[in-house]
Structure 1
């Protein structure tokens, strides 16, 4: 039997990386042929590469997982779809009876292993069966679920000297990545340290309230006093005595302000 191929589609880089590594451990023979960061890229890869399985995040930019799955239904080659979701088990307990599976965020290795076993059994007993009936049923169930309310950070544990402090996110002016740490600067001019990488931290912050203005800097939008440019066209954000550079790639954030 030829190897089973799969595509991973999720807009969170850390989750894509974690799922890829976890699949390599629980299912070494599975061939990951593409890793996609949005729904449009996922659909293009599915059409081109015709994988056997797609691990598909429900919430993605460009096209969400629901839209991608609906497009898959129209194709002659229809892969099995495993939805990756932040919905809790109570909300999606109806999926348990479905041949197409789901994975909850954060990923659990034993649950992933069970999912892979189910897929292997599906291919072993019904290698040519279309996924359409299951996919249609699952899409119908998904459409009836209530909207997800994102859960963002409200408190952060950070160190200063030998002490650990509990800081409200509302008190934060900006985060700045250093060599091994991320520094937190608060509105009372205090500085704290955390070990969480800036990329990972950014995923836990409300994007309406915090913007990444530089590869090493994330600021609280409400604390920005003004944005200015120097004679060379370099842009800076000023906030409570701090002057922070804005990378050229991020200057579009402030267009029209």
Structure 2
């Protein structure tokens, strides 16, 4: 039976989560609940949980600072964040593939999160590090890309275009380098939302308008990039692409 630790500075929130877990996931055993991050870290080291429910907004230490107390190799447990973060910041959670629940908690969404934990049981410290970076950089134009062997940081100005292929996305940089990430194109589109020059132009493509040299109406419509690559543009995206390029 999986062991669980709850870390939240609000006693009512901890008690509510305990009660909800009893209802929707009775096989989970809550072995400790803690009111701040340092006591939570001590409990994690001592009790070796399988799953941690971790509040973000706490006095003195944010839940995101968990990584400051552990080496990446020590993160051998899953985390579900509980948060009242804005929709903008939640883009970083989606892209980093870290689970989260919005407060006030909903028992149906909690049950779904627990089911994802059961099916995956994935201990991905690289995704945690990427999450922390993307939240800290949420208003900048630098992007953290989780990869199989670590995390790659790129400037949005180095990004030329991306091509989605199912669950994977290829990113093409202005240096000629090509990166492959195991995230679909929608995740990348969500992450770069708010950067005006980066635009979804087709179901399979996202382009940086700064590298577009021309738009051609033939063959269904496409843009030509500075490296002479032709990237398809959907009819309903033409106006937005031209506006971004102007």
- What TM-score do you get using the length of structure 1 for normalisation? 0.50
Residue 87 of structure 2 aligns to a residue whose secondary structure is coil
Match of 2:104 in 1: 106
Match of 2:14 in 1: 16
Q: Distance in 1 between matches of 2:99 and 2:80?
A: 5
Q: 1:41 to 1:62 in 2, by over 3 A?
A: farther
Structure 2 alignment gaps of length 5 or more: 140-246
Q: Distance in 1 between matches of 2:89 and 2:64?
A: 16
Tell me, yes or no, if the aligned pair for 1:39 and 1:61 is still in contact at 8 Å. Answer: no
Tell me which of 127, 130, 137 is aligned to 1:144.
137
The RMSD of aligned alpha carbons is 2.0
After superposition, the C-alpha distances for 1:142-171 in whole angstroms (9 at most, x for unaligned) are 22347xxxxxxxxxxxxxxxxxxxxxxxxx
- What TM-score do you get using the length of structure 2 for normalisation? 0.52
Match of 2:172 in 1: none
Match of 2:128 in 1: 135
Q: Distance in 1 between matches of 2:75 and 2:91?
A: 28
Residue 9 of structure 2 aligns to a residue whose secondary structure is coil
Tell me, yes or no, if the aligned pair for 2:5 and 2:33 is still in contact at 8 Å. Answer: yes
Tell me, yes or no, if the aligned pair for 1:5 and 1:30 is still in contact at 8 Å. Answer: yes
Q: Distance in 1 between matches of 2:85 and 2:11?
A: 19
Higher-Rg member (1/2): 1
Q: Distance in 1 between matches of 2:104 and 2:123?
A: 29
Tell me, yes or no, if the aligned pair for 2:72 and 2:125 is still in contact at 8 Å. Answer: no
Alignment size in residue pairs: 139
Q: Give the Å deviation of 1:89.
A: 3.4
Q: Answer yes or no: is 1:95 the counterpart of 2:93.
A: yes
Q: 1:4 to 1:43 in 2, by over 3 A?
A: same
Structure 1 alignment gaps of length 5 or more: 124-128, 147-257
Q: Distance in 1 between matches of 2:19 and 2:53?
A: 14
Q: Give the Å deviation of 1:77.
A: 4.8
Q: Distance in 1 between matches of 2:137 and 2:12?
A: 29
Which structure shows the bigger proportion of residues in helix conformation? 2
Tell me, yes or no, if the aligned pair for 2:3 and 2:30 is still in contact at 8 Å. Answer: yes
Residue 32 of structure 2 aligns to a residue whose secondary structure is strand
